Amino acid sequence: MEKDERYSAIKRNGIISTLSLFFQSGYSAMLGLIANLVVTILLSPAIFGMYITVMSLISVLNYFSDIGLAASLVQKKEVSHDDFITTFTIQQLLVIIVVCIGFLGTEFVRSFYKLPPEGIYLYWALLISFFTSSLKTIPSILLERKIAFQKIVLVQIIESTVFYITIIVLAILKFGLTSFTIAVLLRSIVGLVFIYVISPWKPMFGISKTSLQVLLSFGVPFQASSFLALFKDDLITLFLGKVIGFEGVGYIGWAKKWAEAPIRIIMDNITKVLFPVLSQLQHDKEKIKQLIEKIMFYQTALLTPTILGLAMEMDDVVHVIPKYAKWAPALPLLYIFCISAFFASFSSPLINLMNSLGKAKIPFIFMFIWTIATWIFTPLLTHYFGYYGFPITVMIISLSSVFVVRKAQEFVPFRILASIYKPFFSTIAMGIVMFFVKQIYFHTFQGVILTSLSGAVTYLFVLFFVFKVNIIKEATSLVGK
């Protein structure tokens, strides 16, 4: 009985946290959409590409600021006071070293990418933001362990509001790249203050050898996977910035940002909550099996129609919005990234499943293979296909999600096809209807609205009347025991 009550409490907290994250993502996505439209209308692809490149440069530094200790605190069943102090101390030492290296390397970064002064100021602002973000780690972990993501969400909403409104206002005032610089600094300061108000924690320094050894046993292979992701994603962006130029990176960044928006909003939020929830249920395989199958269904039901709808509508959107046609050359890239996003959506939660079960070495092996493949195919395909090379590489690698599924099933024998076929075929029907509606209303604002509505209605109709899936009933069942 006590076990069932504990599961119900974990489930309830998980649902509240997930819904909170969805609200935050929806809110941030709305602001981000407005900001993205304003920025990509007013700024050139080259300037946008410069922002993407500098952001990737800071992401590179971020991987050196942690050795997986933060993830260990979430995954570990029982955590001591020494664990928190040790993690905070080690992380701050690493962050300070990395930030110092970052500032000392300013001249190299400037000359290598031929950045203007505004680009350097953005680089410095991101370094400062990088440091302040590290101070938020322990307060955030305290909330994650309680599966109280709704409190983290409140801070993120405040950060997003400050960040996007600042960008919108300053871009309109013609601040150019400096809009990002000021927005980054304001967001980092405001976020730091509010997280300590909501989740108080007194920073303390000290290193416990016993705590460090236990935390590193999980943290090192976990962080090794993240470190490989650095070479797979962010270093590739830096490579592309040098090889194909900022305009090409701008097109890739624009296409990737839009294509992966549904994943960032839907899948990332599920994944954030999934890791601590599964970590607490790691000894109950039957509960995990049920949870994974439900996650697969809801994720597919939300992601698949959203990705297809976005791919089918974006060509009209580009031509309907004033001054947005300059992004038309990036549309083929968007389609490729949409295919990649669909397949990649299945591997991410399962990688989290294996991490939560303490099998961090297996995700590391997958990430190692993906990283090698990225660095083999990207330079080769970029040589022959220009800025199409990287998107094609990403699509090829995303197909390997089938192997992730098979490996995860060795630990938890969940059913994948039975979980996803209903929303998948409903999405196919939706796409067919949208295709015919688009032939009638071509590159018009009315067409965008009517095509979207007809697609949504078709999807829900097929799901309900053909496959007998009652979305409201399904959602209600989540909340119940």
- The alpha carbon dihedral of 200, 222, 270, 393 has a sign of positive
Task: Say how far apart CA 349 and CA 295 lie, in whole Å.
Answer: 8
Lowest mean pLDDT among 31-35, 322-326, 376-380, 385-389: 31-35
Taking only the tens place, the pLDDT of each residue in 426-456 is: 999 999 999 999 888 777 788 889 999 999 9
Q: How far apart are CA 362 and CA 371, in angstroms?
A: 14
Banded pLDDT at 49 (limits 50, 70, 90): confident
Average pLDDT over residues 15-30: 61
Q: What is the pLDDT of residue 67?
A: 46
Percent of the chain with pLDDT over 90: 22
Higher pLDDT, 282 or 261: 261
118-122, 127-131, 279-283: least confident range = 279-283
Residue 170's CB is within 10 A of a number of other CB atoms, namely 19
What is the average pLDDT across 291-316?
A: 89
Q: What is the Rg, in whole angstroms, of the alpha carbon atoms belonging to the chain? A: 22
Q: 226 pLDDT band (50/70/90 cuts)?
A: low
Q: What is the DSSP string of 220-261?
A: HHHHHHHHHHIIIIIHHHHHHHHHTHHHHHHHHHHHHHHHTH
Q: Contact 166/183 with Cβ under 8 angstroms? A: yes
Residue 475 has pLDDT above 60, yes or no: no
Q: In the block, which residue shows the tokens 């990176």?
A: 249
pLDDT greater than 70 at residue 28: no
For residue 215, the model assigns a pLDDT of 67
Q: Which residue has the higher pLDDT, 150 or 158?
A: 158
d(CA 357, CA 403): 18
The residue written with tokens 């980092």 in the block is: 188
Whether the per-residue pLDDT at 315 is higher than 60: the answer is yes
d(CA 399, CA 161): 36
Question: In this structure, which amino acid lies at residue 69?
Answer: L
Q: Which residue has the higher pLDDT, 3 or 355?
A: 355
Residue 330: what pLDDT? Answer: 92
| Whole-number pLDDT of residue 319 | 85
Measured distance CA(475)–CA(459) in Å, rounded: 17
Average pLDDT over the chain, rounded to an integer: 80
| Number of residues that make up the chain | 481
Position 478 pLDDT exceeds 70: no
Segment 80-115, tens digit of pLDDT = 778 888 878 888 888 888 889 889 989 988 888 788
pLDDT at 220 over 90: no
pLDDT in tens, 203-214: 888 888 877 777
Mean pLDDT in residue range 302-309: 93
Tell me the two tokens of residue 399: 């197909």
